[in-house]
Every structure is written in structure tokens, then in C-alpha cells.
Chain A
């Protein structure tokens, strides 16, 4: 379904150069970034601090004007048709501070509903309260709510206008484990209902768990953009993992190391090591059989998202 839909968000060749200001040099924050997000898709936008993630989100939201490029939301250009474009957009940027803390959750929804020009606000408000589990908390001032609940209220506000695209900047930052798990469920549900989501995060497990595709930025550039499996395949470390069982003689580890089996560790009743060069694999396997050890398994070496991220960000070759 995702791949057949036209993109709700289309970012094309976008750059942002902040001019030199008092005490600050000219700064290229984002350079020629392109991606799209289809309805129902979650794009995880990763990168170190200063990579240009938040600037990219702010450009999509119309808070920062791109120096070059074009951003379309539901086909409307954010630069020239901002009012129409942002009707199709919801955003929770910079955490939970963008609510009126002295008002209750329900009052915030009413207020921001009027600000966004949402018609039939009462029905929409109550539906969001129920869907996000805010029922017991709607009469409390937002400032009295936990960070997780504040985050949920912020999402409810962002969803008031029924957006087809949602931007979430560091949505799980500062949440406890339970709130983070609940929050991930909420994000998945929103996507399932057809809303395209761009989320930035420094938490690899969040990105891995939620994202249909991963985009990795560094120094203002988009370094990688693909599904997690495709990225893993592209950035897979060469070699294989080899595991065996049995009681090897004292000289076996050293002989295996000479044959090319490295980083040997013992755990869960088996020995495991890495054969980095594929040409060494037959020799290692033959030796293990000859030595009377039980070959447990041989697997292509995989790279986890964190290692993959570090390789991409530091510019190591695929």
C-alpha cells in the first residue's frame, strides 16, 4: 500500500545556508537533501548533533526557509503556498514545550483547534483524547502531567487537523521506559492509519523498531537512505561468524587464529568467532571437523544499526 501511494511529503534538492551574522560564520546546515515519505510510512532520520536533521524538519514545517530546493506537502509548495501546505502537516518539534502549560489538555486542544481552523473540533478532540489514552488526564493542567503524557498531548495537538504527514523531533527523548514503549505504539498506530511520519532520534533501537526506511545525515548531507535490510546488505561487514561446540585442546584456539578465525569468545555452551576473509572459511571449517569439534552454525556477518550508522557517519566505505 505504501509504495503505491503518491508521497504526502516530497523534499527535493533542499539546501539551507545560514548567512554570516555577528560572531557567527556562514554555515551550510543542509546541502542538496532529497527524500519523500508516502502515507503510512515511517522515515527515521538519524545523524549526529549538527547533522542538519532539525533544520530539515523546520524547513518542512516552514519555520526555516530553504536557500534552494522545493518541499511539497500533499502537492502544495511550502515556500509559495505555506497556508495550504501546512494544513496537511502536524509537527511536534523541540519536545513537549509547545503547549500552554497553564491550560488543561482539553483546553489546549480547543485552543490549537481554533488556531489551526479545525472544524467540528469537539468531535475531533474527543476522538483524539480517547485514541491517545488521555481521558483520565484531560482536566489536569499540562504543566502537571508527566513528560510522556505531555508528549501525547503534543501529538494530539499535531493530529488535530488530520494531517497526512507528521514530523516528530526526538519524540522519545526524556521518556521513561514505559512511556517510551507506549509512545512507540501510538506512533505505529498513527502510521497504520495512513499518516506518513518523519522522526528524528539518537536512539537506534527506536529507529530500528519504528522505521520503514532510514535516512542518515551527517554534516548537512544525506549519506544513506533505504530500508534497514537494504542498508544492512549494503554496509555488511565482510566475512562470516562461525560457532562450534565441544572441548578444544589447548592449542586449538591459536591454530584457528592462524587459519583466520578471530575474536573467539565462549558463551551459551558454544565457541564463536569471526572469519573476516571468505577464502579462509573452508580451511577453518575443515580444521574444526578434523579436530572432532561440532560445527554449530556458519552465518554471514551482519551489521547492527549502530555500527552501520557509525560507518556511514564517519564516512567509512560501504
Chain B
């Protein structure tokens, strides 16, 4: 089983679709940029000086853009597996994936990672343009951004796999997926300190919350990965991401087995 070759094939498929449908590609980029600027200027106008009290926004302009970028990627990681299952079930291609030698969960994971690579490039471009338009300057530590965002994505992917697993059995999980997305969005704008005390340990273990905090430290304060590691924050993020991902893989594999029992794996 050559997983690298399958990953490259997934990347190639993404690239082909980006090139083949240029209007869709450009529209997506414009929409992402437009939404970023809308949020940026909208929050500036609506919240004004209070913006500094919101997580992701508290360091002002830098935090705002970074919070938005992180939210995008987190939501994508969360929704990818579930959306992929829904899309593939509708098109019928899930069947091919399910009866191919690699386990279905591996195929889904590699496909999501290929989608993450495309998304990372797209949002790097969006962020660069947004910085130019708004005059925001980020501390440029590309390896740190990639490490932190990837760990966050993998953690969110774990939750996404759980949702995707539910989709294999229940088929219609739109409301559940929307709730999860709203949860992420909520965490991006509600300060941790304002949440009920009993929810804080749970939220702190959420890959999104943890990663966002460290990203801000890198972007605003110029904190290095080495420092984050020594401070125990990065190991915490790594452990959290691994835990969520493994949990997601286990739940998905269980759901796949259940779907093969119930006969729902390739039901249209």
C-alpha cells in the first residue's frame, strides 16, 4: 500500500480541479478575501475599542486577521471528512474508495490532507493580500505557522472524522456539522475567561483554542517554536492533536465497520 502515491494522486486531483474550473477557483479566493476584509473592517466598526477584549482580536489588527485565518482552517478541518462522505456518497465514488485495498479511513484522511494543503496555500495568499490592504504586519515565521496550523488541523480532523463516521451510518448529519462549525466560530469570538468554569478545561483541550493562542504569540510577539516547546504549550498542542486524531480514527473505523454491518456504506 503506497500511501505517498495515493496522497500525491489526491493532490493532483485537487490541482486539476483548481485549474480546470478557474472561475470557481478565483471566486473562492475572492469570497475568502472579501469575507476576511468584511470581518476585519466590520468588527473594527462594530466593536471599536472593545475589540481588544476579544480573543483572536485582542492584539488588534494582527489578531483579527490571524483569528479569522485560524477559524477558516479549523472549520475546514472539522467539516472536511463529513463533507467528503456526503459528497462521495452522492456521486457514488465512496464505493470505489470503500472497496479498494487501503482502509476507507486512510483514504478519507489522505484526501482531507490534500485539501488542507490547497487550503493552506489559498489562505496564505488571502492573508498576504489582506495584510497589504489593511496595512497589518505579521511576524513572519512560516515554519511556526505551518507547524501550529497543521497540528490544529490534525486535531480538528479528528473531530471531523467522528462527524464523518456518524455520516456513514446516519447519512444526514447537516445539523450536527453546522452545530460543530458554530461551536468553533463561537470559540473564536468568546473569551475563554467568560465561559462557565466547568467548560474551560474542555475548551482548553480543544485543538482550535490552544493553537490560536500560540499562533497569536508567534504572530504578535515573535515567540519561537522552541520557546513554545520549552514552555510546554507546543507539547500540549501536539498531545491534544494526537489524541483527537487517534480518537477520530478509532471512531471512524468503528463507524465504518458498523456501516458495513448495516449496509449503509454506499447507500445513496
CB distance from B45 to the nearest CB of A (A): 40
CB distance from B171 to the nearest CB of A (A): 12
Contact B268 A94 (CB under 8 A): yes
Judged by a CB distance under 8 angstroms, whether A101 is at the interface is yes
Instruction: Give the residues in chain A near B16, CB-CB below 8 Å.
Output: 103, 107
Contact A18 B263 (CB under 8 A): yes
- The answer, among A84, A102, A111, for a CB contact under 8 Å with B20, is A102
- The answer, among A58, A101, A110, for a CB contact under 8 Å with B263, is A58
Chain B proximity mask over A1-33: 1 for CB below 8 Å, otherwise 0: 000000000000000101101000000010000
Judged by a CB distance under 8 angstroms, whether B98 is at the interface is yes
**Alpha-carbon distance A87/B1, docked complex (angstroms):** 11
Judged by a CB distance under 8 angstroms, whether A116 is at the interface is yes
**Alpha-carbon distance A62/B99, docked complex (angstroms):** 7
Chain B proximity mask over A36-78: 1 for CB below 8 Å, otherwise 0: 0000000000000000000100100111110000000000000
Instruction: Give the residues in chain B near A86, CB-CB below 8 Å.
Output: 99-101
Interface-lining segment among B3-11, B76-84, B144-152, B192-200: B3-11
Contact B92 A94 (CB under 8 A): yes
Instruction: Give the residues in chain B near A64, CB-CB below 8 Å.
Output: 260-261, 263, 265
**Alpha-carbon distance A94/B88, docked complex (angstroms):** 14
**Alpha-carbon distance A29/B13, docked complex (angstroms):** 38
**Alpha-carbon distance A30/B8, docked complex (angstroms):** 40
Contact B1 A115 (CB under 8 A): no
Contact A89 B99 (CB under 8 A): yes
- The answer, among B12, B96, B98, B260, for a CB contact under 8 Å with A112, is B96
**Alpha-carbon distance A110/B96, docked complex (angstroms):** 14
Contact B95 A93 (CB under 8 A): yes
Instruction: Give the residues in chain B near A114, CB-CB below 8 Å.
Output: 2, 5-6, 8-9
Within 8 A of B (CB), among A72-113: 83-84, 86-87, 89, 91, 93-95, 97-103, 107, 110-112
Judged by a CB distance under 8 angstroms, whether A117 is at the interface is yes
A-B contact count (CB 8 A): 99
Judged by a CB distance under 8 angstroms, whether B107 is at the interface is yes
**Alpha-carbon distance A141/B66, docked complex (angstroms):** 39
Instruction: Give the residues in chain A near B224, CB-CB below 8 Å.
Output: none
Instruction: Give the residues in chain A near B97, CB-CB below 8 Å.
Output: 115
Instruction: Give the residues in chain A near B103, CB-CB below 8 Å.
Output: 83
Chain A proximity mask over B245-268: 1 for CB below 8 Å, otherwise 0: 000000000000100111101101
- The answer, among A18, A62, A83, A98, for a CB contact under 8 Å with B96, is A98
Contact A63 B95 (CB under 8 A): yes
Judged by a CB distance under 8 angstroms, whether A157 is at the interface is yes
Contact B266 A58 (CB under 8 A): yes
Within 8 A of A (CB), among B14-70: 16-17, 20-21
**Alpha-carbon distance A19/B258, docked complex (angstroms):** 11
- The answer, among A18, A62, A95, A99, for a CB contact under 8 Å with B262, is A18
**A18-B262, A55-B263, A64-B260 known; A100-B13 Cβ under 8 A:** yes
Instruction: Give the residues in chain B near A19, CB-CB below 8 Å.
Output: 261-262
Contact B91 A100 (CB under 8 A): yes
**Which residue, B1, B13, B96, B103, has most C-beta atoms of chain A within 10 A?**
B96
Contact B101 A87 (CB under 8 A): yes
- The answer, among A94, A102, A157, for a CB contact under 8 Å with B17, is A102
CB distance from B44 to the nearest CB of A (A): 39
Instruction: Give the residues in chain A near B265, CB-CB below 8 Å.
Output: 63-64
- The answer, among B6, B17, B101, for a CB contact under 8 Å with A83, is B101
- The answer, among A61, A89, A97, A117, for a CB contact under 8 Å with B1, is A117
Within 8 A of A (CB), among B74-126: 91-93, 95-103, 107
Instruction: Give the residues in chain B near A94, CB-CB below 8 Å.
Output: 92, 95, 266, 268
**Alpha-carbon distance A65/B258, docked complex (angstroms):** 9
Chain B minimum-CB-distance residue to A94 = B92
**Alpha-carbon distance A110/B12, docked complex (angstroms):** 10
**Alpha-carbon distance A287/B65, docked complex (angstroms):** 103
CB distance from B13 to the nearest CB of A (A): 6
**Alpha-carbon distance A87/B102, docked complex (angstroms):** 10
- The answer, among A29, A55, A61, A117, for a CB contact under 8 Å with B99, is A61
**Alpha-carbon distance A107/B263, docked complex (angstroms):** 30
- The answer, among B2, B13, B102, B260, for a CB contact under 8 Å with A111, is B13
Chain A minimum-CB-distance residue to B95 = A98
Contact A116 B100 (CB under 8 A): yes
**Alpha-carbon distance A280/B49, docked complex (angstroms):** 108
Contact B98 A63 (CB under 8 A): yes
- The answer, among B9, B17, B92, B257, for a CB contact under 8 Å with A110, is B9
Contact A97 B92 (CB under 8 A): yes
Across chains A and B, which 4 residue pairs bring their CB atoms closest together, nearest first?
A97-B92, A114-B9, A98-B92, A65-B260
Kindly list 7 other residue pairs between chains A and B, CB separation below 8 angstroms, not including A63-B265, A110-B9, A112-B96.
Answer: A18-B262, A87-B101, A97-B92, A98-B91, A100-B91, A102-B17, A107-B13
Q: Jot down 29 A-B pairs with beta carbons below 8 A, ordered by A.
A: A16-B263, A18-B262, A18-B263, A19-B261, A19-B262, A58-B266, A62-B99, A63-B95, A63-B99, A63-B260, A63-B265, A64-B263, A65-B257, A86-B99, A86-B101, A89-B99, A93-B95, A97-B91, A98-B91, A98-B96, A111-B13, A112-B96, A115-B9, A115-B97, A115-B107, A116-B101, A117-B1, A117-B5, A117-B102
